[in-house]
Structure 1
Amino acid sequence: MTFTEIVRKENNELFEAIFNHPFVEGIGKGEVPEQALAHYIKADYEYLNAFMHVYGVAISKSTERRDMGYFSEQVGFVLNSETHPHHNFCDVIGAGYDELQGYPLPPTADHYVKHMMYHAQMGGLGEILAALLPCPWTYVEIGNHLMKKYQPTPNHTFYPWIEFYANEDFDTLSMAMCERLDELAEEASEVELRRMKDAFRKSCQLELNFWEMAYTCEEWPTGEAVSSK
């Protein structure tokens, strides 16, 4: 088995928990609370900004042009293409995309960003890719899962979102990341492999928590609840 096949199998329960999360299931059913959609967009916009910064660190650590080119392409994809699913959510709640930008990250998203930044600064390319991969990989599988389970038509509330992530082009982008990570894993030491596995699993856990964060509209505590007792 390749490295990515191994970590996918080891983290299958987290993938399944993501598929069964009420936010994800709500996308398939066409029923997600408007507040949850807005909270998701606010957090994901800033999260994707951080994702691009991590790609930038990866470029600075790359010694081969193919890696530099790949990470540069990914920055362009986030900037120019991955806004489309956000626009679908915005259209559903009747909000302008600009209105939902510039908000502070909720606790879970803040943790996720700092987790990725830690591995970007402290690890090599393999570790960086292991921390980044669960985001696109889980979304590819979410899109395919919802397409298969609900078979949405173009008039489905969230058809543009589902179709975007179930699209073959998005799958190709994430699989390219898998292939490069497998190559780097073959050259990695046992210590590096453990760090890569840890980075991958924690990102899977944080992907699940991100959906929960959005669904519950998680905010930073203010201390008011404690003060009132």
Structure 2
Amino acid sequence: MLRVRAEDPQLADQLGWQLQAVPPAWCSIVLPSRTPQQLAAQVAEANARGQELARRLGVKWEPPVDRRKQRLLTFARDEAGRRFCPRQAASPGRRVPDGVSTAARLPGGGDGVDVLDTALPAYYSPGYLPGFGGGTDSIGGDDLRLAYVGILVGSARVKQRNWPTALDCDLVEDLLRPAEVIEYASRLREGIQAGWTTKREAVEDATEFASSGFDLVETRLRCRE
């Protein structure tokens, strides 16, 4: 963590606990199932959705993650692979038996650190009830996986959001089709004309659309496994 922080202390402090999630997410979720290039393609696919929406609305495109944050997160991922799972990092996309050191394992795999207690906010914990801050008493494994992978690329909107993993796999595919972008853009244009939304808000909508697109692409990957 100190080595990662040294790259950009101000930004690292802003990210805070999210950086703690990088080793388990990178070593235990992403590298056993895909290459870094495939993860980059997933980000590009999601951003393309946001860019297309922004283009159709005639507004500026603002990606969910700027270059500075992207550089630090990429460095954190590389450092995690070097320190926690060098064997797994050398074979991305193919699970390596015993290729991850204890500190980078997800809970349930022995006596390793419980990253749910150290790396994610309280409202991702199973005991965090709805009446105490808006959490839930039923956090699914898919929701946790989605949060972890999103943290790796900076697109994670760190709040409780069950909708991507609650969708049927066929519906996930439908929501990733170009027709969805066209329909959503049409509704937002009507809102701008009617005055219930603004162009500034439309920029934010396009950015959020890209973040949601990343979640959908991740869920689609899960559906195909």
TM-score (ref. length: structure 1): 0.30
Q: Which has the higher helix share?
A: 1
- Give the structure-2-normalised TM-score: 0.30
Greater RCO, CA 8 A, separation 6+: 1
